[in-house]
Amino acid sequence: MRVINITALTVGIIIAAAGSSYGSQLVYKPVNPTFGGDPQNGNWLLSQASAQGKATSSSSSPGFSIDFPNFGGTTQTPSTSTTLPAVNNTTPTN
């Protein structure tokens, strides 16, 4: 009698576990309202972007700055702007 109860309990647990574990397809749901997400996420996204801070006005490139760590006192050369050579846009004739 005890073996039947244990067997029934084991079968019941296996059926319950198999019934509750099922797979489904992963579906992409955008967050940004620009790409089809919920329009009410816009204020939250804007507040998160504003909270990340602003670039310093002394930055060489507008709107973007990177604060590199000091690697053992090695000085980095400042970036200098170089002019690119002119591009030859003429089409070759055969």
Q: Please report the pLDDT score of residue 12 as a whole number.
A: 81
In angstroms, rounded to a whole number, what is the distance separating the alpha carbons of residues 55 and 66?
9
Q: What is the pLDDT of residues 28-64, one digit of tens each?
A: 888 888 888 888 888 888 888 888 866 555 545 555 6
| Per-residue pLDDT, 16 | 72
pTM: 0.29
C-alpha distances in Å from residue 15, one per residue of 3, 6, 20, 22, 24: 18, 14, 9, 12, 19
